[in-house]
Structure formats: C-alpha cells, structure tokens
Amino acid sequence: MKLLLGGILLAAGFAGFPLVTARNDLLNLGIQIFLAVALAESWNLLGGYAGQITLGHAAFFGLGALVTRTLWVGGAPLSVALAAGALVATAFGVLIGGPAFRLRGAYFAIGTLGLAEILRITVGNLMPEISTIPVTALASYDLVPRYYLTLALAMFSVAVVAVLVRSRVGLGMQAVREDEAAAEASGVGAFRHKLLALALSTALAGLAGGAFAYYHVSYYPQHAFSPAWTFDAVLIAFIGGVGTVHGPVLGALFYVIAKEVLAVQLVEVHLLIFGVLFLLVVLLLPGGLVEAWSRARRLITRNS
Amino acid sequence: MILTQQLILGVLVGGLYGLAAAGLSLTFGVLRVLNVAHGELLMLGGYGTFWLFALWQIDPFLSLLGVGPALFVLGLVLYWMLFQFVVKAHEEARIKNSLLIGFGLTLVFHTLAIRLWTADERAVTTDYAGAVVKIGVFTVPLVRLSSLVLAFAILTALHLFLAKARWGRAIRATAEDWEAAALMGIPVGRTYLLAFALGTALAGIAGGLVSVSYSISPSIGIEWTLKALIVVVLAGLGSLFGSFAGGILLGLAEATSVVFLGGPYREVVGLVLFLIVLLVRPQGLFGDRG
Amino acid sequence: MLEVERLEVSYGALAALHGVSLTIRPGETVALVGPNGAGKSTLLKTIVGLLVPRAGVIRWEGIPVSAEPPHRIIERGVALVPEGRRLFARMTVRENLELGAFAKRAQRERRAQLERVYTIFPRLLERERQLAGSLSGGEQQMLALGRALMGLPRLLLLDEPSLGLAPRVVESIFSVLAELHREGMSLFIVEQNVQAVLTLAQRAYILEGGRIVGEGEGQRLLQDDHVRAAYLGPLARGASS
C-alpha cells in the first residue's frame, strides 16, 4: 500500500514537472529515466520473475525501434507505429521462444545474445545510413509530448509487472523460476508460463524501443540493437532489486542520475562503478537497493 | 584461388579461436561455470604483450612467458574473490550467478581498458611483421603461422598435463565427478582454482597472439567471448583438440562466407552456425557432454 | 578408532540421522544393516566428510573430524567405496587406480600398492588400459575397491558392495574383504545382503529411520528373530527355530 502511494506521488511529481520548468536538459534526463524504467522492468519480468536470464533483450528493443521509426517517419500515425513495433517484437519473441526454451540456463542466455547480435549486424549491413527525422517533423519537434509518452510507458510497465506479480499466472512464473521441475510436477505448465513472460517482456521492450525511435532525432538503426541496452537493463534491474516491482524504478533513478553526475567529470567511469556495484550486489546483496533499504530500515527501528 | 587464400587465412585465425575456446572449455567443463568475461581476459593479455613490446621492446612471442603467468595469477585472484562463491551453489544457480559475475567483470575490464589505454586499436608490429611464407601462389603471413603453431603446441602441452600429471588427472576427475574425486583425496576447491587459473592463462596467451597477429582494442573482449562461445558450442566439451578443430572450423566457415557473402556478414555466419548447433546438437560436434 | 557420538544430519529441513552413536575398533569388521532410506549412505558420507553434521562428533583416532573436508579425512586413512561405485568412466582402469593414490601419503607407495592391487585383482591388470566405463559390473566393483585400497586406508567404508552383482561375484568380493580383515584393516560395511555381511562381520548395527535400533555380534544377529524377519525373508523365517 505504501509503495503504491509512493509510486503515485512519484508519478504525479514527474507528470507535473514540465509544467514548472522548460529546461530541456532536465526533460531529457526524465525521458532517459523513464526509458530506463521500461527497459529494466521488461527485462525484470522475464529474468527476475520468470527466472529466465536473457542476454538478447536488445533484439526486441531494436525491433520495436526499427518498425516504429520506419512507419512513423513514413507518415503513419504514432500510435499505429508504436503498436506495430510492439507487435513485431512480440511476434519475434514468441517465434524464437519455442526453440529457445529448449536451451538450459547458460545456453539460453548466450543463445539469445547470439540472436541479438545476428540482428544487429544484419540491420547494420542492410541499413548503414543514419536515420534522421525529416526536416518537416524536426521543425515541430517538442520534448514535452515525448516526455509524457515515455512517462506513461514507464508507468505502464510498472503496472504490468505489479499486476502480474500478484496474479495466478505471475505466481506460476515465480514457481517456475524457483524450481522448474517441481512447478511442472505440480501442474504449472512451465513452457506456457515462460512463453507468456517472454511475450510480455518483448512487448514492453518493443514499446520502449518504439518510444526511443520517436524520441531520438538521429541515430544509426543498428545502435538500437546494441548489447549495451541489454547490459543497461540487467544492471539497473539488479542494482535496484531484481525480482521486485519497484527495484527497477529505484535502479533506473540511481543509474541515470549517477551517470549524469559522473559524466560531467569522467568519461565512462560510471560503467566501471556500476560494474563493481553490480558484482557486489550479485555476491553480497542479491536484493539490490531494495534489500539495502529494508535492511537499513530494520537497523534503524531496532536501534531506536 | 581467392577462396583458397581466404581459407588459409581462416585456418590461421581458427587456431587462435581454438586456443581461446580451450580456456573457456576448461573452465566450463571443470567448474560448470560460464565466464563470459573470458574475452576481456584475452584482451588484457593482448594489452600486456603490446605494452611489453611498446615500452621495453620485448619480442611478443617471448613476452608470452610473462603474460601467461600474469594472467594465471589474475585467474587465481578472480577465483578467490568471486568465482569460489559461485561454485558452492547447485548447477542452475551456479550458471546463472557465473553469467552475472562474468557480465559484471566484462563491464569493469572493458571500461578500465578504455580509461587506461583509450579505445584506439593497437597492434604489435615487429621487424618481421611483414614476413610471409610463399606456398605456390598463396601467401601465408609468418607471424600468423607461428601463432597457429604455438597455439597447437600449447594445447598439446596442456593435453599432456591433463593426461599424465597428478594435478592434471585430478582436474579431469573433478570435471567428471567431483564427489568421487573428493573421495580420492583430491582437494576440490584447489582443483577448481587451478583449472580456472589455467583457463585465464590460456585466454591471456591467446590475447598476446592476437595482438601480434591482428590488432587489439578494448572492444575485442566481447567479440572474442562470442567467438570462444561459438567454438565451445560447435566443438562441445571434453576435448582440447576438439576445441582446436572447432576453432579451425569456425575460421573456415567465416572465410567461406567472406568469399560468397562479402565481409560484413562474416560474424553472422559463425553466430548462425552457433544457434543451429545449439538447437540441433547441444553437446557439440565432437563433445561428450551437453 | 572411529567414534561417532550423537550424530545429527539433515538435508535442509529433512532430518536424516538422529542421535547416531557407534564405534569401530582397530581391526574390526562392522556391518551396518537396515531398510532402504534408513540413512546408511548418509552416515558413511558424513563420516568421510561429504556431508556436515548439524550436531554430534566424529572422532577418528582421537581427532575430531566432523568439520574437515573430505580430502583431509582421506589423508588421515579413511576411504569410502561409494554406492554405485562412482568410477571415472572416461578414464582407464589404471588411471582410476592411480587417482586413488592422489593423497601425498599414498603417492609414495603408489607403485608398490598398484602391484598389490593387481595381485588381488588380476582381472584389473588384464584390463589395465580399458576405459572404466566398459567394464562389467563385477569388474567395476573390483576397480572401485582397488581404487580405494590405493589410498592406503586403515578404515575402509563400503556402501552396498554387492549391489547389482551376481552371487558368485559377491562371493569373491567378500572373500577379498575377508582377506583384508585378516590383514588387520578395519571395515565398516553397509549391506543389503545381510547373510553375506553378517557372516563376515564381528559386530553389526541396525539403522532404521535414522536411528540405531540394535547392535550385536554378527553371528548372533543372524539368529535374531527380528533381523531374520525383517531382512532375511520368508525362507529364513520358516527355518528359524
């Protein structure tokens, strides 16, 4: 309950933000945070809740971006372009889901990585030129609608995960994560649950990619398929608290803001720091910031 | 004609793919741990060789005598600090955690390399760098040929170690059945440590050979991790020479694709093969365990 | 020589051994019988260090060893021939045997001990270069036993040595065990084949549901009605007086 309240307050705060300021750099920061939330939550759904660690998440982000960009720049209405992007990403995910889930653990992770790389290289070869928003659209480019779109997307992803977690299907996914054989034995169709998690995860990732395509003025199409997006998603999810609803939100806030702060002084050092933090989290504090916070709270209440 | 020349070059690079894969195969086979930072360790070895040459003009092939042990020690440290906690878990959690740890290490090493040495490409160019051996109308770069021969020699030495030496056999036994190995009086933790450090040493040596035969930069880490993974999947676990052969196979496949599909799709061929083998024959073409 | 006091062992939340106490004196052959799932394998695994007890003490030659890793306990002179043999199937007979002498203490005697094992099991010498996985059941048991002997143990633990073996092979295995006993080795044998093991053992313990429920001299237990009823089947019951 408290979380829900806090979340609503946070969202309201973010929503009201553009009304009090016109600073583009802060709006950009906000957009990056929201994209990060959506990206991390979508990965968290599959990797944190269903327990299927995938390293090919960028493939779906990239597909969403590619389809949305192509359609929207070509004149289609944004909503159609976004929906199409999500659809294509999901379709691709479901298509590979069948064979992919035959692979255990490590092989699934590297298999998905391999797939994402194949897409990236192929797209890079077929579309080597930079993609830029046409001049006509550039003139009317406004950050505010993009801000609200990405905010809505972030809220949507959090909501999807929150609802899913408490649902019967969501519990089934977590059962599969804990012990697939036991879940299967007690009647939880492991494959069905994993496929559903994959579909939802890729749909959200595709939407995030579409939002990215709407937001970025110019970029190389293959950049949207870069493994860096996967790494970001995994980092944020873990540092924030994998397998929780609000973990990725905390992680995204922390990550994007810290990146901004550090980028001023040292190039790329934020990755180094996050890499070390990530290692510490995996080894010592698997619950990430969420766990750190609850531990700190317990320490305070015990000493007071 | 062009095809044959390309195939020759493919074999030459394939030997290094095999060497890189052998290290990964060793770690995966013995500890059941997938160190996706393997390519980063290769990259570090490459930079070690590069700097030893750039600063003190030490011949790259000679500097391997220093780079190998240095990476061995790094492997000891990494196992002691990180991976030893991972091996205590059950197989699935073990692989999951090792993936994550490898991932974190990749980030750390990659970023560290960029900070320390910039993203520029480097190569070790010795006096004899341009030397070639002519076989009929085909040219074989001498340095690459030497690298291939050296890679093969190292794998042979390692094979003998695993076959005959007390600790080499302990590694094989632990890979097959660690509880039974423990019953032989084999300290399993120490065996894991040794296997892991050997794996990183192999990566480092491969990296050194890459720096002199091709070029290095911080971004080759992920590239070579993928190559090693592809070969491990292609060849399967359980045989060093299988890894070598798998590496050569990959080199040949890439060379063929370059001739028929053009350069840009070189990486794709390997990845596609990789996915096909993963799905159709997960234990690999020469392997004896999935 | 081996003292187990009030041992408690659990697999997670599941308790497998409750307050198990027993002793094995130097040169003794002791049997451990009991129904499936009683915890017999668990006990052997704990003694050799593969499992860590929740409570209780294990003392070997006076030294508490319950927290030591397996390789340390093996160094001290205890060996286990595990259930199902657990041979290294992809290695040769000879490699398996030589691995048995991995411990430093055993390394020095390796060549001599190998000769001894080949004398006890000439079949292993014949099959020296064959892969362990290609041997027959009986030969595998011989190899497992020979491999354990390579470690120069003073106490040999055996987990179901007769499992899956033809009666004639069982006979030959047990005659080897009898010979080892005569030479002064201590043996602790877990066995379903109660007839065979109680004939050989001086003493035996009965383990049921994780607890020691009986103890006695080997021959006497063979005559005991409860034992006969539980483990020797209708034929024996019919023949008891």
Find chain B residues with C-beta within 8 A of C69's C-beta: 182, 187-189
Residue with the bigger pLDDT between A104 and C66: it is C66
C-beta atoms surrounding A122 within 10 Å: 17
User: What value does the mean pLDDT take over residues A193-202?
Assistant: 91
Chain A residue set in contact with B, beta carbons under 8 Å: 53, 55, 99, 102-107, 109-111, 113-115, 117-118, 121-122, 124-125, 227, 231, 234-235, 238, 266-269, 271-272, 274-276, 278-279, 282-283
Query: Which of B170, B172, B183 shows the shortest C-beta gap to C48?
Result: B183
- Counting Cα atoms < 13 Å in the Cβ hemisphere of A202 gives 29
Whole-number mean pLDDT of chain B?
90
Q: What angle do CA C21, C25, C27 make, to 5 degrees?
A: 145
The encoded tokens of residue C28 equal 């003794």
Separation of CA B9 from chain center: 18
Find chain B residues with C-beta within 8 A of A269's C-beta: 111, 115
Q: Could you report the per-residue pLDDT of B188-226, keeping only the tens digit for each?
A: 999 999 999 999 999 999 999 999 999 899 989 988 999
Verify whether the Cβ–Cβ distance C88 to B185 is below 8 Å: no
Residue with the bigger pLDDT between C120 and A293: it is C120
All residues at 6 or more sequence positions from C238 whose CB lies less than 8 Å from its CB, including other chains: none
Verify whether the Cβ–Cβ distance C88 to B180 is below 8 Å: yes
* Model pLDDT, residue C145: 94
Note whether A61 and A153 are within 8 A (CB).
no
User: What value does the mean pLDDT take over residues B11-26?
Assistant: 94
CA dist., res. A263 & res. A187, Å (int): 50
CA dist., res. A224 & res. B33, Å (int): 30
* Model pLDDT, residue C67: 86
Verify whether the Cβ–Cβ distance A231 to B104 is below 8 Å: no
ipTM score over 0.90, yes or no: no
Q: Could you report the per-residue pLDDT of A215-243, keeping only the tens digit for each?
A: 998 899 999 999 889 989 998 998 888 88
Give the percent of chain B with pLDDT over 90: 57
Instruction: Inspect the structure and tell me whether chains C and B have 3 or more CB pairs less than 8 Å apart.
Output: yes
Q: Could you report the per-residue pLDDT of A10-24, keeping only the tens digit for each?
A: 888 888 877 777 788
CA dist., res. A111 & res. A104, Å (int): 10
Q: Could you report the per-residue pLDDT of B101-119, keeping only the tens digit for each?
A: 998 899 899 989 988 898 8
Q: How much of chain B is helix, strand and coil, in % rounded to 5? A: 80, 5, 20
Instruction: Tell whether the model's pLDDT for residue B290 goes beyond 50.
Output: no
Find chain B residues with C-beta within 8 A of C88's C-beta: 172-173, 176-177, 180
Instruction: Encode B230-260: b = buried (16+ Cβ within 10 Å), e = exposed.
Output: bbbbbbbbbbbebbbbbbbbbbbbbbbbbbe
Sheet strands (E) in B93-159: 132-135, 138-141
Nearest in space to C51 (alpha carbons), one of C26, C90, C87, C20 = C20
Verify whether the Cβ–Cβ distance A115 to B275 is below 8 Å: yes
Find chain A residues with C-beta within 8 A of B115's C-beta: 266-269, 272
Q: How confident is the model at residue B20 (pLDDT cuts 50, 70, 90)?
A: very high
With CA atoms as reference, the chain C residue closest to B289 would be: C90
* Model pLDDT, residue B289: 53
Verify whether the Cβ–Cβ distance B183 to C82 is below 8 Å: yes
User: What value does the mean pLDDT take over residues B62-76?
Assistant: 95
Q: Could you report the per-residue pLDDT of B135-174, keeping only the tens digit for each?
A: 888 888 888 999 999 999 999 999 999 999 999 999 999 9
CA dist., res. A246 & res. A237, Å (int): 10
Verify whether the Cβ–Cβ distance B173 to C151 is below 8 Å: no
Q: How confident is the model at residue A265 (pLDDT cuts 50, 70, 90)?
A: low
With CA atoms as reference, the chain A residue closest to B93 would be: A105
* Model pLDDT, residue B287: 66
Whats the size of chain C, residue-wise? 241
Contact pairs from chain A to chain B, CB under 8 Å? 105
Structural domain spans, chain A: 2-224
With CA atoms as reference, the chain A residue closest to B113 would be: A272
Instruction: Inspect the structure and tell me whether chains B and A have 3 or more CB pairs less than 8 Å apart.
Output: yes
C-beta atoms surrounding A142 within 10 Å: 8
Verify whether the Cβ–Cβ distance B170 to C107 is below 8 Å: no
Note whether A208 and A39 are within 8 A (CB).
yes
C156 interfacial to chain B (CB closer than 8 Å):
no
Strand partners, C207: C212
Verify whether the Cβ–Cβ distance B92 to A231 is below 8 Å: no
φ and ψ at residue C31, rounded to 5 degrees = -105, 155
What string of DSSP letters covers A227-257? HHHHHHHHHHHHHH-TTSSSHHHHHHHHHHH
With CA atoms as reference, the chain A residue closest to B275 would be: A111
Answer positive or negative: Cα dihedral of B153, B157, B158, B160: positive
* Model pLDDT, residue C235: 47
Residue with the bigger pLDDT between C13 and A198: it is A198
C-beta atoms surrounding A28 within 10 Å: 15
User: What structural domains and CATH numbers belong to chain B?
Assistant: 2-280 (1.10.3470)
Q: pTM for this one?
A: 0.89
> Which residue of B31, B101, B103, B273 to mutate against A (max A Cβ within 10 Å)?
B103
Those residues of chain C that have pLDDT short of 50 are 234-241
Q: Could you report the per-residue pLDDT of A6-58, keeping only the tens digit for each?
A: 788 888 888 887 777 778 888 888 899 999 999 999 999 998 888 888 889 99
Q: How confident is the model at residue A205 (pLDDT cuts 50, 70, 90)?
A: very high
